[in-house]
Amino acid sequence: MVALQQSIEDIEEKECVECVIRACDQGILLMQYVHLGRSGLKVSRLCLGTMNFGPKTSEADSFAIMDRALELGINFFDTANVYGWKVGEGLTEQIVGRWLAQGGGRRGKVVLATKVFGRMGEWPNQSRLSALHIKRSCEASLRRLQTDCIDLYQMHHVDRETPWEEIWQAMEQLVREGKVLYVGSSNFAGWHLAQAQELARSRHFFGLVSEQSLYNLNERTIELEVIPACEAYGIGLIPWSPLARGLLAGALEPAKVGRRADEDLKKDVEKYRPKLEAYDALCTQLGERPADVALAWLLHQKAVTSPIIGPRTMEQLDGTMHAMSLTLSQDTLKRLDDIFPGPGGPAPEAYAW
């Protein structure tokens, strides 16, 4: 216990994060909390993604996973109005809402994030980021989630057809009404982040507090522009697909069911086979699972706030916790860079000078 406390103090000193020791049936667990971007809001270093809730995970199992996440110290839950993949139903939000409605302090413990942009109906104004769709989508999400406020309301994609003046006016109104606390983005380019933040600043509005981007060992394009923009504007980075859709989770092992059996993944395995073979060999040498190394690598990246984990089962959720305590040496990080080279750093240095 003394050694654990010393490690916590070392982490806090080096990374400016808050660490909490939690006791559960797995023994003593360590959860770290960090500010979401430049805000005063603290979120867990792992974010619970709920995209599987409904389509792949039953409601009962989803409830159990969310309860378990709280027990493990995960306080950051992410969903979207389109999850469930039945147009207009918001199935996953409904599941999360029914879980929250059980009470027991659930809502007060959770930093609740959802998204707007995707199609929620067949009529012209039932998608994208018009002020009308933002307002209606927010109110519909609040009803499905059975709450009076969305902690983090994220634009699921940039909308090149709607001016930022209109988008920010709509978001500002939701904040004034107390229906939204913070605004985030997802799948934005670096220049979109800059454009959005500069206009928000001119309107004396806080603007974006986070950006969700595709980021993992095999997908590092955002290191060119998005990460530098996030760092410059104090925007927290929330990586999605940390295991590259299963590619970094032992995809070389054959499987008849599950994600590794997916035909698209099998094609990716053949495309990246030399890298994956070198990666699996390194993980074997380290004595660690490939999925844990991939997640730990993200947690070692300075710009990353909370990678999104999307467990389908309780076992998958419990399994991710090991990455929290996995320290990768500088030699290991260099070897990972050799196997999965990024774009060369930020632009323009990555391709010019």
Nearest to 167 by CA among 132, 143, 136: 132
What proportion of the chain, given as a percentage, has pLDDT over 70? Answer: 91
Q: Give the pLDDT score at 262.
A: 79
pLDDT for residue 4 is more than 60: no
pLDDT for residue 260 is more than 50: yes
Query: Where is pLDDT greater, at 78 or 16?
Result: 78
Indicate whether 23 belongs to any domain.
Answer: yes
Contact 54, 83 (CB under 8 A): yes
In residues, how long is the chain? 353
pLDDT for residue 116 is more than 90: yes
C-alpha separations of 230 from 16, 64, 214 in Å? 18, 34, 14
List, for residues 74-85, the tens digit of each pLDDT value: 999 999 999 999
Peptide bond into 348 cis (omega under 30): yes
Q: Give the pLDDT score at 253.
A: 86
Query: Where is pLDDT greater, at 1 or 330?
Result: 330
Indicate whether 352 belongs to any domain.
Answer: no
Indicate whether 2 belongs to any domain.
Answer: no
pLDDT for residue 25 is more than 80: no
The SS3 call for residue 231 is helix
Indicate whether 87 belongs to any domain.
Answer: yes
Indicate whether 349 belongs to any domain.
Answer: no
List, for residues 131-157, the tens digit of each pLDDT value: 999 999 999 999 999 999 999 999 999
Q: Which residues, in sequence order, are bridge partners of residue 22? A: 29
Q: Which domain holds residue 302?
A: 8-339
CA distance 41 to 46: 15
pLDDT for residue 241 is more than 80: yes
Which residue out of 83, 153, 233, 279 is catalytically annotated?
A: 83
* CATH code where residue 190 lies: 3.20.20.100
- Segment 92-100 shows an average pLDDT of 98
Largest pairwise CA distance in the chain: 61
pLDDT for residue 6 is more than 50: no
Q: Which residues, in sequence order, are bridge partners of residue 186? A: 212
Beta strands across the sheet bearing 42-44:
18-24, 27-35, 42-44
Looking at every residue in the chain, the average pLDDT score rounds to: 93
pLDDT for residue 282 is more than 60: yes
Nearest to 317 by CA among 73, 11, 8, 27: 73
Whether residue 351 lies in the annotated active site: no
First to last CA, the chain: 49
The SS3 call for residue 42 is strand
pLDDT for residue 7 is more than 50: no
Indicate whether 3 belongs to any domain.
Answer: no
- Segment 213-233 shows an average pLDDT of 98
Side-chain-side CA neighbours of residue 331 (13 Å):
3
Contact 112, 146 (CB under 8 A): no
Q: How many domains does the chain have?
A: 1
